[in-house]
Each structure stands twice: as structure tokens, then as C-alpha cells.
Amino acid sequence: MADLEHARSMLRMAHKDFNALVGMQGNPLFADEIFGFHVQQAVEKALKAWLCARDAIYPMTHELTRLLALLENQGAEVEKFWPLVQYTIFAVQARYEEGVTELDEPIDRAAEVENVSVLLAHVEQMIAI
């Protein structure tokens, strides 16, 4: 049986990172690395909540590719969330190494807030919050 309480807890934590994204969306005071970190954190926690709701044990990892692959291997429809794997770099490395991310373009914050919002809504449906 799925651990729905743990899944809900993880999703609540994901929403805290999402709220930070919303607050940073139009504020240039926050660097893209900081914004990207909270995208990565919201996505990681949401994917772990989804895995937990499916009664899967998730690994202690920041690798979004690995988490999506686990869900995909279980038959979950994850195709539309694959573009979010680009934020894995912001989990640890981009916070401690200057210039690691050197983005070609600034992050489209409004688009990423929407993408994370779609993921959170999807996971909410999976765990029936």
C-alpha cells in the first residue's frame, strides 16, 4: 500500500519551493541559479511524492532523470515532464561553482513557474489531496 501521508508531506514541501519561485518570478534581485535551484527542488520533491504514492522506494538523489525513469519504468505517464531534467545541474553543483551554468539565455521564469505548476497539479491528482 502506498504511503500517502509521506507523499503528501513531500508535496507540501514541493509547494514551499514553488512558492519561492512565484516570489522570485519577476524579481531580478534573485539570480537564475537561485531560481533554478528552487525549480529543481520543487520538481525533485514532487517526483519523490509521486513515487511514494505509487508505493515505490525512491533513491536519495537529486538526479531528476533517475526519478523520472523510475516512474516511467512503473508505467507512469511522464513524457511531458522530461524537459525539467535540465534543472538537475542546479541541485548542488550550480550553487557552489561559479559559472557552471553559464546559461545561453536567462531562464524564462514565467514558463518554468507554469511547468512546475502543471507537475504539482498532476501529482496532487495522483495522491488525491
pLDDT in tens, 19-75: 999 999 999 999 998 999 999 999 999 999 999 999 898 889 999 999 999 999 999
- C-alpha 31 chain-centroid distance: 18
**Considering just the CA atoms, what is the radius of gyration of the chain in Å?**
14
Quick one: pLDDT at residue 129?
Answer: 56
Percent of the residues in the chain that have a pLDDT greater than 90, as a whole number: 71
pLDDT of amino acid 57: 86
pLDDT band of residue 125 (cuts 50, 70, 90) is very high
> Under a CB-based contact definition with an 8 Å cutoff, are residues 16 and 87 in contact?
no
> Per-residue pLDDT for 128 more than 90?
no
Indicate which CATH number applies to the domain containing 110. Answer: 1.20.120.330
pTM of structure? 0.91
> Which pLDDT score is estimated for 107?
93
The boundaries of the domain holding residue 54 are 4-127
In the predicted model, is pLDDT for residue 115 greater than 70? yes
Distance CA 98, CA 107 (A): 17
Number of domains in the chain: 1
Mean pLDDT for the stretch of residues 90-118: 79
